[in-house]
Amino acid sequence: MNKPLLIAGAIALGAWALTGGSAAAESAVKLPPPALDTPAQAGRETAVFAGGCFWGVQAVFQHTQGVLNAVSGYAGGRKETASYALIGSGLTGHAESVQITYDPKQISYGKLLQVYFSVAHDPTQLNRQGPDSGTQYRSAVFYQDANQKQVAERYIAQLDAAKAFPGKIVTQLAPLAGFYPAEAYHQDYATLHPREPYIARFDLPKIANLKTTMPEVYREQPVLVFPPK
């Protein structure tokens, strides 16, 4: 386990407790599917989502059927500043993000958005998630083409119109200029460190919520970036 990460997790937990954090931070919201979705087609597609610490977002999609790979990384800033040591300043433009490679014949982009909004994070929190705060923890969908942009825009409007959440969705929609994989020690983090207090408190509940809220897409064994040999 990376010692600085353990210390940072403990600090975040302490700050969260002092500000009155509660179990509601990791509750899921059962949502309808998007009214508009991308068509199923052969091949592989990718999606990039940001929603707080990438450990939990990655873990959720690693347990989602149809996902072929989910990589933690950085999006929204320049390549030269895409490192864990720099993005913590909140000044690089990057958000901790996850690039999801998926089979569109097994799961659609819209269904991935449904998982993202329902289980992976709280889209009504501005520049924070749980104990983590700063623009690097913002809620963001980095779309790759006009179809992804339209589906995401329509879904956010659909959910806001239905008052699916107590507050308005603050998720940023931005074109994907580049995705930069995070350092190797960040990959598969929730699977490798399930007993770390941060993971147990904030990330394992997300996986449990996926299983109970969207059982039709849940997979027991995660698809890992670095599978055991």
Query: 35-60: per-residue pLDDT in tens?
Result: 999 888 889 999 999 999 999 999 99
Q: What is the CATH number of the domain that holds 119?
A: 3.30.1060.10
Question: What gap in Å lies between CA 136 and CA 31, rounded to an integer?
Answer: 26
Average pLDDT over residues 219-224: 98
Q: State the chain's mean pLDDT as an integer.
A: 91
Q: How far is C-alpha 193 from the chain's CA centre?
A: 18
Given a cut of 50, is residue 11 above it in pLDDT? Answer: no
2 in any annotated domain: no
Residue 71 falls within a domain, yes or no?
yes
Q: Is the pLDDT confidence value at 17 over 50?
A: no
Catalytic residue numbers, as ranges: 53
Rg over alpha carbons for the chain, rounded to the nearest Å, is 16
Q: Domain of 126? A: 38-214
Render pLDDT for 63-73 as a digit per residue (tens, 0 to 9).
999 999 999 99
Q: What is the pLDDT of residues 162-220, one digit of tens each?
A: 999 999 999 999 999 999 999 999 999 999 999 999 999 999 999 999 999 999 999 99
Per the structure, how many domains does the chain have? 1
- In this predicted structure, the answer to whether residue 1 has a pLDDT above a threshold of 60 is no
98-126 mean pLDDT: 98
Backbone dihedral region of 66: left (phi > 0), alpha (psi from -120 to 50 degrees) or beta?
Answer: left
Give CA separation, 131 vs 11, 125, 177, 191, 222, in Å. 9, 11, 28, 20, 25
For residue 25, name the pLDDT band (cuts at 50, 70, 90).
low
* Coil vs helix vs strand at 110: helix
- Predicted pLDDT of residue 27: 85
